[in-house]
Each structure stands twice: as C-alpha cells, then as structure tokens.
C-alpha cells in the first residue's frame, strides 16, 4: 500500500492528538481508514424547496439570500443567539444560530446560501435554527454526511477527508489490474474515492459506489478462496473405495436422492489426498444425520475414526442414539463424550478412543477437541456449524493431521450468499425432504385466542401425540427465567392439568436437561414447555404440535427452525404462532411462515426484511464487516466479483505476481481487520 496512507490520521493537516482520539472512536486510525470512512448518506442541495412550500418541522433544504443581520442577543449566561432575515422571494424566515459567532459573521448580505435544517414557527412567521449553511457559489450540490462522534463535525470530516484525498491523489495507486477494470466497467480507485466523498451528482456517486462495492466483494471472495486453498494443502487421510451397500440396506428408510448424492460427494472427497471440506446444507428435517452416518460408515470401513461435534449436550446425546442405531449393527462402536458424564465414564471413553475400540465419537464441541487422543481420526463432522465462524473453521483446519471435515448447517441460505459465507467449503444441498412428510400447518394468532389454541393442543395430546410450547427467553436474564417457570406452572395447574408437563431451559444442568429430553422422547412427558434450547436439531417424531409464545420476538429463520421440531414423523403437524403484538408488520412477517415451509424461501424473505447484518450477525458467520457492499442488494456486482475472483485464483493462486500485489494487500487488510474486531 502507499506508505502515506498507512500513517496515523494525525499526519493530516488540522488533526491533532485530541481529534485523532475522536477518530479512533469511529474506528479511524490511519489516513487509509479515513478514506474508507464513507458517507452515511448525502444531502442533495439541488433539491431545495421554496420557503413558501417548505414543510414545518421536517428536514429540508432552502436556498435563500441574507437580507439583514440583527444584533446578537445574550439569552442567558453562555448562550448567545445571532439572528438574520433570509428570503427567497416566495417568503422570508428568521435564521438563528447559537454561540457560533464566526459562522454568522461569515454570512454576507445579499449573497445566496443553502440552509439545511428544520423550519419551525407557523406559516406566517417561519424560523430556521442552527441549520447547516453552504454558500451557493462554489459548493457542489451533493454534500456527504458522515457518521460522527461528539466533538467531530461534518465540516471537520469533510476537510480532513479532502486532505486525505490530496495525499492519495498525489501518487498513482491502483490495486486493480487494468483488464479487470475494463471487463467489469469500473472506474479508477482515485475517481471512486473522490466521488464517493464528494460526488458531483448522484450519477458519479453511483459509479464510485460500484467500484468500491466491487473491490469489497472481490477481496472478500478472494480471501475465502485463499482460505479454502490453504486448508487444501494439508494432506489428509486418503481413503480407499468401499462397498456401501450394507449401510444403505440396513437403514430403516430409503434415502432421498439428495441424501444419496451428498454421501457420494463425501465419499469422493475422502478418497482425495487433500482433506474434504464440505458443507451439507439442508432444510430442517431433510435428514442430515443420515448423511453424516454414511460418511462415518465409509471412514469406519477405512479403519478411521469419526468425531461428531454438536453444539449442545442435548444434541450430542441425540446424535449418539441415532448413530448407534444406524451403525452398531454394522460393527462400528459408537461412544458419547460430554461434560456431564462422570470422571470414570469419561476415562473409559477416552481409553477406548485412544486404543481404537470406538470408531465413532460423539460429543460437544469442546470435549472432542480438547485432550482427547484419537487412534486414527479420519473425519470430523460438525453439526449446526452456522454458529461457528470462518476463523474457527480455519483454526480447526490447522489443527490435527488434516482429517476430512464435514459441516452440517440447517440455515438454508441463497446460493450466492452461501458461496460468499462458506466460500472456503464445497457445498452439497439437500433440497428435498424425505417422502411422506406433510408440511406443518402454521397459524399466526393473537393472544386473545390463546385458550382456544390450548384446546387444540389438548386434542393432539388426546390422540397420543406430544407437544411443545416455546417461550422466548433472553439468555441469562433472571426475570425472564422466572416468568418461563411461572408460565410452566400455570400450564400445569391450568389448561394442562390432566397431562404430564415438563420444563426445559438453558440454566438447567446438563444432566437435568438430558433427563428431561430422555423422558420426553420416551413419552413420559406430554407437553414440553421450553425456551429456545429446543431450537437446534432436537428430533422427537411423535411431537406433532408446537405453540410459540411471543412469536414476534423471533426472526423468521429462527421460527422456521423451531417449527422444524414438529412434522418430523408420519403425523400431520401444526404450529401456532401467538403474538400479543399483532401489528400489521408483525402479521405480515408471520404470514410468510403460514405461506410456506420452504426454508430457502423463508431465509430469503428474512434477509429482505432484516438485512444481512441482523440476519447473520457478524459474529455468527465470522465474515469481515462490510463497509459499503450489501450482499443482498448488490447481487449483480456480487456475481461479477465472484467470477473475477475465481479467474484470478486459477491464474495466480497466491496473488504473487506484481500485477496483483495491490489486490493481495487489500485482501489481507480486510481479513486482518476482521480478526482484530473479534
């Protein structure tokens, strides 16, 4: 990078120690950072309105002459008001500025200015107080507005950005190779930075934005692809072909075509010299566990161990049971390893893992990773990996001696986004559900019909089914925990007096959680009141009805996940979304769920409604924070950037050629910042 750009902002004229500390609050440390501190929006002074037509108490721009300046008046100690009369021939108004005498002094009588602010008063006597003021002469009509922190003003920002641009423009710096700029119709970086900050009009601004969005998405994709390459280089456990027939025919059901294909993808990958790095993406209930079992069986036949890591003990437990069912009849011994086991149980398990007695080890993330010694670990499977970030995956890849890796995610996301977010993985999609599944009928209802909903639930229970009631609970809030407990008590005493009611929440010890889940599975509990701990993966096919309280507090994708706990067996299932806050917007959101059971469609809708920031939360996906690109809106540029990245990687995988030096730097910078963010 240009040396001068890496200098601290203090290097700029007018920026001293105090101001540079304010800049730090905005995450701006260097001249470069300031150049990439883009405006939040722009004011278009060209869209001024006449004083006569200007709305009251709303932000607007007026273009007026200064007619007369009045005497300054001291209102009270420390507060001086300067007044002037301004006009645009459709009317006039009183301008008021407080304390900033120099601003007032600089106004010239008879000269025209843009005033940006709110008019107050009434139609006869209008006032505008502390507006932003720009002389009409010599001012570009489009003005940037930055996010600030106390002590910084728009004017300071603009001045400092100008000097940063001067430094930038004084040398020729262009990280993108010419042909890439040409092929994608992009302007130069110099033009882009100039016009993102100080556009002449909205057209130049959008040209600038395209270039910067492209840069950001390109570097992001390059970073992901380089990560993928890096994990490719570690040599893994190359496996040999095996007969899978015994596995397929021993299953209690016939695999869907997608499940079959996904297993075959894994088998193919595991016969390569470099480790598999694959994501299984499938909607809730699409049967990801069976795919995991297939891959584990293949590893077993190759004399290798498989570790399956789950995010919670409940899930670890469940996977343990399931895999035992699938695999033990075929000779592969399965063992569970979780924190709530006794010291002796753990020791026995670990001994068996070390001496190779166990072929499949199921546990929580922490345990399987820690001091467990494997005899020959060939495959690591992680369930619900969307909770872990890119860096964690990269770290895992650097551990061990390069076992094959399989990741299972139940958050269906559009393919382009998947390519970005999981750009370091290959993807198999389970796009169909097992045969005979009936869609979960979903109703959004107001709290006033709660009693009727409970009646409906009782009907299911009387037919021998089981039910969930989910209450949202913000993690670790005592008052909310109390209310969930009370709620469960009320259910026990009231509408579900005749039934066996259990309560599951995150604050229970693992042993308690386990025992409740086990009792629910064994149908010793009819109705399980639960917080969102049931969200991920829990599989009890006899549960056919779910009520979700305060459903407006959940995102659509999360509701879809929750709802996925029912409709997993052969019974017709139903989900009732209760809301005490039935605004139009809430109803509209919830109606998406009544309308479809397709997780992909739902996540797309969720993305549209909430934006990717909220949807994933940058922590969750572990991607760098994007400054300007929006992966859901800038789709066209996203495609171009992805194509370009792929082409670059095939030509120059390490970006080592001198032509790509700038790009490599930009890529490293993006990922470096991300690491220090977390």
Give the interface with ligand ADP as residue ranges (CB under 6 A): 253-256, 259, 282, 284-290, 410, 434, 537, 539, 541, 568
Exposure of 28 in the CB half-sphere (CA atoms within 13 A): 30
Q: How far apart are CA 29 and CA 219, in angstroms?
A: 21
Decide whether 45 or 280 has the Cβ nearer to ligand ADP. 280
Q: How far is the CB of 547 from Mg ion (least distance, A)?
A: 22
Decide whether 565 or 640 has the Cβ nearer to ligand ADP. 565
Q: Are 174 and 193 in contact (CB under 8 A)?
A: no
The entry of ligand ADP, Mg ion, none that residue 8 binds, CB within 5 to 8 Å by partner kind: none
What are residue 121's DSSP bridge partners? Answer: 126
User: Quick one: tokens of 436?
Assistant: 């005979």
Residues in the chain: 678
DSSP code string of 487-510: HHHHHHHTTTTTS-EEEE-TTS-H
Q: How far is the CB of 614 from Mg ion (least distance, A)?
A: 24
Decide whether 289 or 306 has the Cβ nearer to ligand ADP. 289
The entry of ligand ADP, Mg ion, none that residue 290 binds, CB within 5 to 8 Å by partner kind: ligand ADP
Decide whether 288 or 664 has the Cβ nearer to ligand ADP. 288
Q: How far is the CB of 407 from ligand ADP (least distance, A)?
A: 13
In this structure, what are the phi and psi dihedrals at residue 404, rounded to the nearest 5 degrees?
Answer: -70, 150
Q: How far is the CB of 284 from ligand ADP (least distance, A)?
A: 5
Residues 634-653 interacting with Mg ion (rule: CB under 5 A): none
The entry of Mg ion, ligand ADP, none that residue 541 binds, CB within 5 to 8 Å by partner kind: ligand ADP
| Residue 98: DSSP 8-state | E
Decide whether 220 or 314 has the Cβ nearer to ligand ADP. 314
The entry of Mg ion, ligand ADP, none that residue 116 binds, CB within 5 to 8 Å by partner kind: none
Q: How far apart are CA 32 and CA 282, in angstroms?
A: 41
The entry of ligand ADP, Mg ion, none that residue 577 binds, CB within 5 to 8 Å by partner kind: none
> Which position's Cβ is nearest ligand ADP?
287
H or E, element range at 163: helix 154-169
Q: How far apart are CA 107 and CA 127, in angstroms?
A: 17
What are residue 94's DSSP bridge partners? Answer: 85, 127
The entry of ligand ADP, Mg ion, none that residue 287 binds, CB within 5 to 8 Å by partner kind: ligand ADP
The entry of ligand ADP, Mg ion, none that residue 284 binds, CB within 5 to 8 Å by partner kind: ligand ADP
What are residue 501's DSSP bridge partners? Answer: 527
Decide whether 5 or 284 has the Cβ nearer to ligand ADP. 284
Decide whether 289 or 312 has the Cβ nearer to ligand ADP. 289
Strand ranges, E, within 47-173: 59-69, 73-76, 79-87, 92-98, 112-121, 126-129, 132-135, 142-145
Q: How far is the CB of 430 from ligand ADP (least distance, A)?
A: 7
Decide whether 285 or 612 has the Cβ nearer to Mg ion. 285
Q: How far is the CB of 542 from ligand ADP (least distance, A)?
A: 10
Q: How far is the CB of 325 from Mg ion (least distance, A)?
A: 15
The entry of Mg ion, ligand ADP, none that residue 592 binds, CB within 5 to 8 Å by partner kind: none
Q: Are 318 and 341 in contact (CB under 8 A)?
A: no
Decide whether 43 or 310 has the Cβ nearer to Mg ion. 310
Instruction: Centre a 10 Å sphere on the Cβ of residue 105 and count the other Cβ atoms it contains.
Output: 10
Q: How far is the CB of 358 from Mg ion (least distance, A)?
A: 22
Q: How far is the CB of 288 from ligand ADP (least distance, A)?
A: 4
At residue 208, the 3 state secondary structure works out as helix
Q: Are 536 and 386 in contact (CB under 8 A)?
A: no
The entry of ligand ADP, Mg ion, none that residue 231 binds, CB within 5 to 8 Å by partner kind: none
Q: Are 133 and 107 in contact (CB under 8 A)?
A: yes
Decide whether 237 or 296 has the Cβ nearer to ligand ADP. 296
The label of the residue with tokens 């989900």 reads: 575
Side-by-side strand order, sheet with 334-337? 334-337, 360-364, 305-310, 377-383, 404-409, 277-282, 426-430
Rounded to the nearest angstrom, the gap between the alpha carbon of residue 661 and the centroid of all alpha carbons in its chain is 30
Q: How far is the CB of 283 from ligand ADP (least distance, A)?
A: 7
At residue 573, the 3 state secondary structure works out as coil
Each residue 507-546 as x (binds Mg ion by CB under 5 A) or -, in order, gives ------------------------------x---------
What end-to-end distance do the CA atoms of the chain give, in Å? 24
The entry of ligand ADP, Mg ion, none that residue 429 binds, CB within 5 to 8 Å by partner kind: none
The entry of ligand ADP, Mg ion, none that residue 364 binds, CB within 5 to 8 Å by partner kind: none
Nearest to 546 by CA among 289, 284, 316: 284
Strand ranges, E, within 531-590: 543-548, 574-579
Q: Are 357 and 380 in contact (CB under 8 A)?
A: no
Decide whether 44 or 321 has the Cβ nearer to ligand ADP. 321
Q: How far is the CB of 608 from ligand ADP (least distance, A)?
A: 24
Q: How far apart are CA 483 and CA 481, in angstroms?
A: 5
- Tell me which residues touch Mg ion (CB under 5 A): 537
């Amino acid at each position: 990078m240009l040396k001068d750009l890496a200098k601290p902002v203090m290097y700029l004229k007018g920026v001293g120690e105090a101001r540079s500390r304010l800049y730090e609050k905005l995450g701006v440390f260097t001249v470069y950072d300031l150049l990439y501190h883009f405006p939040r929006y722009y004011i278009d002074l060209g869209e001024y309105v006449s004083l006569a037509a200007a709305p009251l108490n709303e932000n607007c721009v007026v273009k007026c002459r200064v007619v007369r300046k009045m005497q300054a008046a001291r209102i009270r100690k420390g507060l001086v008001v300067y007044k002037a009369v301004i006009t645009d021939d459709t009317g006039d108004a009183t301008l008021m500025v407080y304390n900033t005498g120099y601003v007032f002094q600089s106004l010239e009588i008879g000269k025209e200015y843009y005033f940006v602010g709110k008019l107050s008063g009434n139609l006869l006597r209008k006032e505008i107080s502390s507006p932003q003021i720009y002389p009409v002469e010599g001012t570009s009509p489009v003005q940037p507005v930055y996010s600030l922190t106390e002590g910084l003003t728009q004017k300071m920002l603009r001045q400092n950005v100008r000097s940063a641009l001067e430094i930038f423009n004084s040398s020729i710096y262009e990280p993108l190779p010419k042909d890439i700029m040409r092929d994608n119709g992009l302007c130069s970086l110099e033009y882009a930075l100039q016009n993102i900050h100080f556009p002449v009009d909205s057209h130049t601004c959008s040209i600038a934005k395209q270039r910067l969005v492209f840069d950001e998405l390109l570097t992001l994709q390059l970073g992901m692809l380089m990560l993928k390459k890096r994990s490719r280089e570690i040599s893994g456990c190359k496996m040999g072909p095996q007969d899978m027939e015994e596995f397929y025919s021993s299953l209690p059901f016939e695999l869907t075509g997608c499940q079959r294909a996904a297993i075959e993808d894994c088998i193919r990958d595991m016969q390569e010299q470099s480790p598999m790095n694959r994501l299984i993406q499938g909607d809730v209930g699409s049967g990801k566990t069976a795919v995991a079992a297939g891959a584990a069986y293949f590893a077993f036949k190759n004399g290798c161990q498989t570790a399956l890591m789950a995010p919670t003990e409940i899930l670890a437990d469940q996977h343990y049971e399931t895999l035992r069912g699938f695999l033990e009849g075929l000779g592969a011994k399965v063992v569970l390893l979780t924190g709530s086991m006794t010291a002796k149980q753990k020791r026995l398990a670990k001994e068996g893992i070390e001496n190779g007695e166990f072929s499949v080890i199921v546990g929580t993330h922490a345990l399987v990773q820690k001091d467990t010694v494997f005899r020959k670990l060939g495959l690591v499977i992680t369930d619900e990996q969307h909770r872990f970030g890119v860096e964690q995956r990269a770290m895992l890849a650097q551990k061990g001696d390069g076992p094959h890796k399989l990741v299972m995610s139940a958050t269906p996301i559009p393919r382009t986004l998947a390519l970005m977010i999981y750009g370091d993985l290959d993807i198999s999609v389970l796009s169909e559900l097992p045969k005979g599944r009936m869609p979960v009928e979903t109703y959004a209802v107001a709290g006033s019909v709660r009693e009727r909903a409970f009646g409906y639930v009782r009907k299911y229970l009387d037919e021998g089914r089981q039910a969930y009631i989910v209450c949202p609970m913000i993690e670790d809030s005592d008052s909310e925990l109390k209310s969930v407990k009370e709620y469960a008590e009320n259910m026990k005493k009231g509408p579900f007096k005749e039934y066996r009611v259990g309560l599951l929440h995150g604050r229970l010890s693992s042993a308690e959680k386990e025992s409740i889940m086990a009792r629910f599975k064994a149908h010793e509990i009819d109705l399980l009141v639960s917080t969102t701990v049931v969200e991920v993966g829990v599989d009890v096919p006899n549960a056919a009805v779910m009520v979700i309280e305060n459903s407006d507090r959940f995102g659509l994708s999360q509701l879809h996940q929750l709802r996925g706990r029912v409709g997993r067996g052969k019974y017709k299932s139903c989900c009732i979304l209760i809301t005490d806050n039935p605004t139009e917007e809430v109803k509209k959101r919830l109606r998406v769920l009544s309308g479809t059971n397709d997780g992909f469609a739902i996540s797309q809708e969720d993305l549209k409604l909430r934006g990717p920031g909220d949807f994933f939360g940058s922590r969750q996906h572990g991607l760098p924070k994007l400054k300007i690109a929006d992966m859901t809106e800038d789709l066209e540029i996203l495609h171009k950037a992805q194509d370009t990245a792929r082409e670059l990687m095939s030509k120059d995988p390490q970006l080592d050629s001198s032509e790509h030096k700038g790009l490599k730097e930009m890529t490293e910078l993006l990922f470096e910042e991300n690491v220090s963010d977390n």
